[in-house]
């Protein structure tokens, strides 16, 4: 009995202890649950803070990126300048040649100075003759000199970006030797230059004014700007010891660049024509495709495409060979690769990828030592070309249009009845409207009708001949006499004497857009849009007639009395057949497109680049790419638009348009793709713009100048009326300018 009582008490005690443990466990669980809830709350709060901080970081990153872009242009100039200080032998030795009797127009004059156009000799001969008939004079030299010249060119900060491997070889072969005695001048400051030099033996001294900038030993290339276009040297180079130089003149350099460029273009077009899918396309379309082809190298054994994979790229073999294989089922049911054939230079594969998503039906494998292919992807093809079936049947009428424009030679342009009777002696000078590199423009009055005034452009013939710009002057006359457009200045008649040629043109008395921009510092969005729209309309007209302009800038835009913009100065314009390119280096340094700097051949795409540059200058007051000498400017241009910062006050859609116009690759520029110049007009920045009102001249211009009468020159800067004397020039190149016999 006692034992039973003892067991019962023990059981009660155990049960009580168990209940207490269970209660304690429940309390502990509830405590942990509360703490877990608190942790979850803290975690959510922390996640919210992290998300907020991430947004702040992203915002700051964008701001930092914007600031980096804004300083990049100045940083680039400082980097280049510091290189010049550290390496005085890299001095460019040249500035554009101009008319020193007028105001200095060099980019180096800084803010407030007009920008000066530059040009090499006309390069029409190579495009007409083709590449097969053009021979370059080559000079024997041993391997040591060849290697020295090659190393000097490839170590030059500018030339290394300018030439390809094959072009370097041609340059090396065409350079000739020149011995320079101690004390003799190689280059003289202020003198015209046309040669590139590579120092081979001896020591040279570089001097600017009275200041010695430094010395050069063997293996240095200098004078490089002079092989691009006419310019004067900015420094003197003298031989300190007896020296040996290797020399290349500008004509040889231009020929090398043209011939190699034409050969590459013709070869790529020939490759494209061999493709049945493409052979019926026009020369213009094939030329655009040739421009957008990329060069890719595949090492031996690499699979270029794999059977069963989807692809969007078309390949043409430019060098090497590939194996084509397919997977087949063997007798035992396993898969094995079976070689079908080999493809070599000029053969192609993957062409269906240009039309649709293409599932590859075979493997293509590079053969030793590797293969080089020209490639084109479907996206680029569609942006640039559009629908293939439509293009194969579309008649662009380019050939007929080109014949019409080409037939407007200087000798066949008809004179308008209203102006046939006007003679040079019938004109009185009222004022000088502008001064440029080759002459000046004067406001003249017809003595028999005082209400009739004209702009008379006067070019010094001797200067035109000296700088070999005869073809440009003749082209300007022919093109302007043939143009009839509300936003292009009219040319009525031309004259000549033994010193000058004269162009009688429409007087636009609203003033220069450049002068207005200088006085206002920058234009607002509305004014910039109006000016850009006028220019776009003018360029659309020119391009429809196979004319490229090549010198767009505010200095070449005038306002008429109503405030509408007119394009003037066609000195660099050219009739260029569709699908063709030209190689003459011409334009204004701040406005030239990369393909002009790199001598890769150019076409109307350079005008679209220039629209973007002009927009930037109108909105900010300065061009986006500028430095204190042209060589530095070109280096900054080659850095590209993506390295450029835009001020915060410029609208995003304006920035978008400028970026799309100023692509390094011409084929990527808005206006040059399948939609043509209409793509520019449809851009968001022009949304709501009254294009019909502009064309009909019912749109009220944002700037309406005050013009009191036909002799009011108050909207122009003041220049002396006196015409600078010029030597007699009677070679006869200007015979078509003589209209004096017409009464």
Using DSSP, state whether 43 is helix, strand or coil. Answer: helix
Phi-psi region of 202 (alpha: psi -120 to 50; beta: other; left: phi over 0): left
Query: Do 551 and 116 contact (CB within 8 A), yes or no?
Result: no
Using DSSP, state whether 185 is helix, strand or coil. Answer: strand
Answer yes or no: is 331 a known binding residue: no
* Peptide bond connecting 369 to the previous residue in cis, omega within 30 degrees of 0: yes
DSSP 592-650: --HHHHTTS-B-THHHHHHHHHHHHHHHHSS-SS--SSHHHHHHHHHH-GGG----TTS
Closest Cα to residue 220, out of 132, 280, 154, 295?
154
Answer yes or no: is 360 a known binding residue: no
Phi-psi region of 516 (alpha: psi -120 to 50; beta: other; left: phi over 0): alpha
Q: How many residues does the chain have?
A: 743
With 0-12 / 13-18 / 19 or more C-beta atoms within 10 angstroms meaning exposed / middle / buried, residue 634 is buried
The Cα angle at residue 685 between residues 516 and 58, in degrees rounded to 5:
110
Instruction: Report in angstroms the alpha-carbon separations of 687 from 261, 533, 691.
Output: 39, 12, 10
Answer yes or no: is 439 a known binding residue: yes
Answer yes or no: is 732 a known binding residue: no
Answer yes or no: is 183 a known binding residue: no
Answer yes or no: is 324 a known binding residue: no
Element spanning 440, H or E:
strand 439-446
Answer yes or no: is 436 a known binding residue: yes
DSSP assignment, residue 3? H
Closest Cα to residue 290, out of 258, 320, 318, 254?
318
Answer yes or no: is 571 a known binding residue: no
Answer yes or no: is 441 a known binding residue: yes
Answer yes or no: is 709 a known binding residue: no
CA distance 21 to 237: 102
Residues designated catalytic: 551
DSSP assignment, residue 708? -
Q: Which residues are annotated as a binding site?
A: 433-441, 457
Q: Which residues are annotated as a binding site for ATP?
A: 433-441, 457
């Amino acid at each position: 009995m006692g034992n039973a009582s003892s067991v019962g008490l023990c059981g009660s005690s155990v049960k009580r202890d168990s209940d207490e443990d269970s209660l304690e466990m429940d309390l502990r669980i509830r405590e942990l649950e509360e703490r877990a809830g608190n942790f979850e709350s803290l975690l959510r709060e922390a996640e919210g803070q992290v998300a907020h901080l991430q947004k702040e970081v992203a915002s700051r990153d964008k701001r930092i990126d914007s600031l980096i872009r804004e300083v990049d242009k100045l940083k680039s100039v400082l980097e280049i300048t510091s290189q010049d200080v550290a390496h005085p032998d890299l001095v460019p030795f040249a500035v554009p040649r101009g008319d020193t009797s007028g105001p200095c127009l060099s980019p180096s004059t800084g803010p407030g100075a007009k920008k000066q156009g530059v040009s090499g000799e006309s390069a029409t001969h190579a495009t007409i003759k083709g590449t097969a008939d053009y021979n370059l004079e080559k000079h024997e030299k041993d391997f040591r000199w060849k290697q020295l010249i090659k190393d000097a060119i490839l170590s030059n900060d500018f030339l290394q970006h300018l030439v390809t491997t094959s072009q370097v070889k041609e340059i090396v072969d065409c350079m000739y030797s020149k011995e320079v005695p101690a004390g003799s001048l190689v280059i003289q400051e202020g003198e015209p230059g046309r040669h590139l030099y590579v120092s081979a033996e001896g020591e040279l001294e570089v001097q600017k004014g009275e200041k010695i900038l430094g010395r050069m030993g063997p293996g240095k290339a200098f004078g490089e700007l002079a092989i691009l276009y006419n310019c004067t040297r900015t420094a003197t180079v003298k031989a300190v010891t007896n020296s040996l130089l290797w020399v290349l003149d500008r004509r040889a350099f231009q020929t090398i660049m043209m011939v190699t460029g034409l050969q590459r273009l013709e070869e790529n077009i020939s490759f494209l024509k061999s493709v049945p899918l493409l052979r019926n396309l026009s020369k213009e379309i094939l030329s655009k495709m040739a421009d957008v082809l990329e060069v890719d190298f595949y090492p031996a054994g690499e699979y270029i495409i794999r059977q069963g994979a989807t692809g969007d790229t078309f390949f043409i073999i430019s060098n090497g060979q590939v194996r084509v294989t397919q997977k087949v089922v063997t007798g035992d049911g396993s898969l094995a690769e079976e070689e079908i054939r080999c493809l070599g230079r000029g053969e192609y594969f993957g062409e269906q990828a240009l039309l649709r998503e293409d599932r590859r039906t075979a493997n293509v494998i590079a053969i030793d030592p590797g293969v080089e292919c020209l490639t084109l992807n479907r996206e680029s093809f569609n942006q640039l070309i559009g629908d293939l079936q439509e293009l194969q049947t579309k008649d662009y009428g380019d050939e007929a249009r080109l014949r019409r424009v080409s037939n407007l030679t200087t000798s066949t342009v008809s004179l308008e009845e209203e102006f046939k009777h006007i003679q040079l002696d019938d004109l009185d000078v009222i004022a000088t409207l502008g001064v440029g590199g080759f002459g000046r423009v004067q406001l003249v009055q017809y003595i028999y009708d005082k209400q009739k005034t004209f702009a008379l452009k006067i070019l010094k013939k001797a200067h035109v001949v000296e700088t070999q710009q005869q073809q440009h002057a003749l082209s300007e006359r022919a093109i302007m006499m043939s143009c009839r457009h509300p936003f292009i200045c009219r040319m009525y008649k031309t004259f000549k004497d033994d010193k000058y040629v004269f162009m009688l043109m429409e007087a636009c008395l609203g003033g220069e857009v450049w002068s207005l921009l200088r006085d206002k510092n920058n234009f607002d969005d509305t004014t910039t849009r109006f000016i850009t729209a006028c220019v776009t309309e003018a360029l659309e007209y020119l391009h429809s007639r196979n004319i490229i302009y090549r010198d767009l800038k505010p200095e070449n835009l005038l306002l008429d009395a109503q405030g509408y913009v007119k394009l003037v100065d066609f000195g660099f314009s050219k009739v260029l057949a569709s699908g063709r390119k030209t190689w003459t280096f011409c334009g204004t340094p701040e406005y030239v497109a990369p393909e002009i700097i790199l001598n890769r051949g150019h076409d109307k795409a350079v005008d679209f680049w220039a629209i973007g540059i002009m927009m930037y200058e109108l909105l900010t007051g300065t061009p986006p790419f500028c430095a204190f000498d042209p060589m530095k400017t070109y280096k900054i241009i080659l850095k590209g638009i993506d390295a450029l910062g835009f001020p915060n006050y410029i609208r995003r859609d304006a920035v978008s348009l400028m970026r799309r116009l100023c692509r390094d690759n011409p084929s990527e520029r808005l206006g040059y793709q399948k939609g043509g110049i209409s793509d520019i007009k449809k851009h968001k920045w022009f949304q709501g713009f009254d294009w019909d009102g502009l064309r009909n001249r019912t749109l009220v211009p944002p700037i309406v100048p005050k013009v009191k009468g036909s002799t009011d020159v108050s909207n122009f800067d003041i220049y002396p009326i006196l015409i600078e004397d010029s030597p007699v020039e009677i070679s006869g190149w200007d015979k078509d300018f003589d209209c004096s016999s017409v009464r």
